[in-house]
Structure 1
Amino acid sequence: MRFSVFTASTPEWTPAEAARNLAGQGWDGIEWRITDQQETQTPGFWAGNRATWPLTGLEDHLDEIERLTRESGLEYSGLGGYARCDDHDGVERMLAATARLGARQVRVTMPRTDAGEYRALFAAARRDLEWVASRAAEHGVKALVELHHETITPSASSAFRLVDGLDPQHVGVIHDLGNLVIEGREETLASLQLLGPYLAHVHVKNAAWVAGEPEEDGTVPWRAEWAPLRAGAGDVDGYFRALHAFGYDGWVTCEDFSTELPLEERTRGNLEYLRAVEARTRPAAAA
């Protein structure tokens, strides 16, 4: 397996700093975040993220993205796009950029479940994804559907239903440990087997359910929060054992949205931890 970082999780670093720091720590690759975002004085994961490239005018930045990535010695694990499947212009631009950079694969986001009636949303997304698949094939790249809470594809089962019958050379699924803590978790090995050739990429982060203050009647509200890899509810060792059992040997992209540790310490420690977990969960015959 090879390990990369999604720059949504490195908001304090500029693109040049992200490439230099991650390469210096020994990461194999980088997954650039590409989206138009709200600018803020204080950098954050979702707004004011300094390691994000804008979708508006993206074509003018491709040479710089390519230069920073190449000079750092990092590879692309893919591109972290935010263009939704029904935004055909945005998707086309992301697919073209993926091909131009040689990044091979790019995330295409799915509708949120609160955007309408589920069956209608799903049917429309399937039609859009058929178009996406055809365009991805034209560009020679792969479009990725992420397992993500609060969207129409929170689970492997829902994602498989969406992509089933499309060409797995040009449409794939991102399995995501942390998102599945919040919604959509199924037994990991079974979910990987269900996806089969559609399993194209893996994201690793962690989350935990936290109890709030009891209400007047004693009801305890719970909320999900991002957590360090070692401290969340997701079983990282079990996750890697399942990946090994399935035979997955592709990219594992870390996107740690916890804030207990400073960014540089967090990314460095995550790489050490992920490599240790990957090694100790590897079947003996493959060690």
Structure 2
Amino acid sequence: MKFAVFTGSTPDWTPAEAVKTLASQGWHGVEWRITDPVEAARPTFSAGNRATWPLTGLESRLDEISALTLDTGLEMPALGASVTPRQREDAERMLSAAAVLGVGQVRFRGVHVEKGQSYREAFAAYRGDWEWLEDRARRYGVRALLELHHESLTPSASAARRLVEGLDPRHVGVLHDLGNTVIAGWEEPAHALDLLGEYLAHVHLKNVAFHLAGVENDGTLRWAPKWVPLREGRAHLPEFFKALAGAGYTGWVTVEDFSTAQPLTERTRANLEYLSGLARAAGYDLG
């Protein structure tokens, strides 16, 4: 098992600062956020994120990305694209970039039910998108990742398995995101991982807790999710690592911690120490 950080969760750092810091802390890899930038007065996770490579003109930056990453000894387990399979030109751009960089996987953003569609209609169309993506991923010799994500057609392992069933797991895989499933799509982790089987290709970690968001006039309570430190959320990470070991998973775990209780550098250092301990306790040999 190896650990990486998704740079969507490191908005304060430039790419050079990100790889230097992560390598010095002992992380094995970095998962780059790739999307056209949104300007902001100060860096946030979604806007003004400095550790982001622009999607437009990505081809001209690949040598820089490769040199910057590999010179620090870090690996790239996947590329994180804010692109759906329906954005055909950009989807192919991402697959091509992964092939050039020697990165085996590309994570794609999910889609939701459009106005006027039924869920079944949307799901059937989305299956067609992934059949196209499977063909393109095969041509580039990489794997496209379907992420479990709330507010998408595939928030759960069950839905994801149904979508990708019959596609080639060498070129289509599922990314299990524990934090996202807390918000929607929760299934017992051991059962979810077992269900995904050969399609389980990658893992993301963050954590979530629900907080009281308001009280309606009739006294009904409204609750809302909030990103919290890894130890503090609804998902119990020690149990999750035991489930990963039980499923025989030996791949990458990428952290995208969107909590802000600790300063960024302290947060990444503490997360690696915590997760390394959990992995060892679950029987993993980290070297």
TM-score tier (shorter): over 0.9
- What amino acid does structure 1 have at the position aligned with 2:98? T
Deviation at 1:214, TM superposition (A): 2.5
Q: Name whichever of 208-217 and 21-30 sits farther off.
A: 208-217
- Unpaired runs of 5+ residues, structure 2, are none
The C-alpha deviation readout for 1:119-140, integer Å capped at 9, x for no partner, is 1221111111111001101100
CA distance in 1 between partners of 2:246 and 2:286 (Å): 11
Contact 1:173/1:199, CA 8 A, preserved across alignment: yes
Report the equivalent of 1:67. Answer: 67
Deviation at 1:213, TM superposition (A): 3.5
CA distance in 1 between partners of 2:132 and 2:219 (Å): 50
- What amino acid does structure 2 have at the position aligned with 1:6? F
Instruction: State the SS of the aligned residue for 1:133.
Output: helix
Deviation at 1:113, TM superposition (A): 3.4
Report the equivalent of 2:283. Answer: 282
TM-score of the two chains, using structure 1 as the length reference: 0.97
Q: Name whichever of 116-125 and 13-22 sits farther off.
A: 116-125
CA distance in 2 between partners of 1:28 and 1:286 (Å): 11
Contact 2:19/2:30, CA 8 A, preserved across alignment: yes
Contact 2:39/2:48, CA 8 A, preserved across alignment: yes
Deviation at 1:42, TM superposition (A): 0.3
Report the equivalent of 1:169. Answer: 170
Instruction: State the SS of the aligned residue for 1:31.
Output: strand
Q: Sequence identity of aligned pairs in percent?
A: 56
TM-score of the two chains, using structure 2 as the length reference: 0.97
Asked if residue 126 in structure 1 is aligned to residue 134 in structure 2, the reply is no
Report the equivalent of 1:48. Answer: 48
Report the equivalent of 2:109. Answer: 109
CA distance in 2 between partners of 1:210 and 1:113 (Å): 27
CA distance in 2 between partners of 1:222 and 1:286 (Å): 39
Q: Name whichever of 113-122 and 243-252 sits farther off.
A: 113-122
* Paired residue total: 286
Contact 1:110/1:125, CA 8 A, preserved across alignment: no
Instruction: State the SS of the aligned residue for 1:75.
Output: coil
The C-alpha deviation readout for 1:92-116, integer Å capped at 9, x for no partner, is 0000000000010001222123554
Report the equivalent of 1:157. Answer: 158
The C-alpha deviation readout for 1:59-94, integer Å capped at 9, x for no partner, is 111111001111110001110011111111010000
CA distance in 2 between partners of 1:24 and 1:281 (Å): 25
CA distance in 1 between partners of 2:87 and 2:57 (Å): 16
- What amino acid does structure 2 have at the position aligned with 1:2? K
Instruction: State the SS of the aligned residue for 1:240.
Output: helix
Instruction: State the SS of the aligned residue for 1:230.
Output: coil
CA distance in 2 between partners of 1:218 and 1:258 (Å): 30
What is the correspondence of 1:132-143 to structure 2 with a 5 Å cutoff?
132-143=133-144
Contact 1:113/1:150, CA 8 A, preserved across alignment: no
Asked if residue 207 in structure 1 is aligned to residue 208 in structure 2, the reply is yes
Provide the aligned C-alpha RMSD in A.
1.5
- What amino acid does structure 2 have at the position aligned with 1:35? T
Contact 2:148/2:154, CA 8 A, preserved across alignment: yes
- What amino acid does structure 1 have at the position aligned with 2:51? A
Instruction: State the SS of the aligned residue for 1:47.
Output: coil
What is the correspondence of 1:116-265 to structure 2 with a 5 Å cutoff?
116-265=117-266
Q: Name whichever of 32-41 and 111-120 sits farther off.
A: 111-120
